[in-house]
A and B are shown apart, each in its own frame.
Chain A
Amino acid sequence: QVQLVQSGAEVKKPGASVKVSCKASGYTFTDYYIQWVRQAPGQGLEWMGWIDPNSGGTNYPQKFQGRVTMTRDTSINTASMELNGLRSDDTAMYYCARGGLGSASCYGCRAFDIWGQGTTVAVSS
Chain B
Amino acid sequence: DIQMTQSPSSLSASVGDRVTVTCRASQSISTYLNWYQQKSGEVPNLLIYAASSLRGGVPSRFSGSGSGTDFTLTISSLQPEDVATYYCQQSYSSPLTFGQGTKVEIK
* A-side contacts of B49, CB under 8 Å: 101-102, 111, 113
A118 → chain B, closest Cβ, in Å?
6
* B-side contacts of A105, CB under 8 Å: 30, 32, 91-93
**Are B50 and A44 touching (Cβ within 8 A)?**
no
Which of B19-27, B39-47, B66-74, B75-83 lies on the face that meets chain A?
B39-47
Q: Main SS of the interface on chain B?
A: loop
| A110 interfacial contact with B, CB 8 Å | yes
Q: Number of contacting residues on A, CB 8 A?
A: 28
Interface residues of A in 76-107 (CB under 8 A from B): 95, 97, 101-107
**Are B46 and A108 touching (Cβ within 8 A)?**
no
| B3 interfacial contact with A, CB 8 Å | no
| A61 interfacial contact with B, CB 8 Å | yes
| Residue in chain B with minimal CB distance to A110 | B91
The distance in angstroms between the C-alpha atoms of A110 and B93, with both chains bound, is: 10
| Contact A45 B94, CB 8 Å, known A103-B50, A111-B34 | no
**Are A61 and B94 touching (Cβ within 8 A)?**
yes
| Contact A44 B30, CB 8 Å, known A101-B46, A111-B91, A115-B45 | no
* A-side contacts of B62, CB under 8 Å: none
**Are B53 and A102 touching (Cβ within 8 A)?**
yes
**Are A116 and B43 touching (Cβ within 8 A)?**
yes
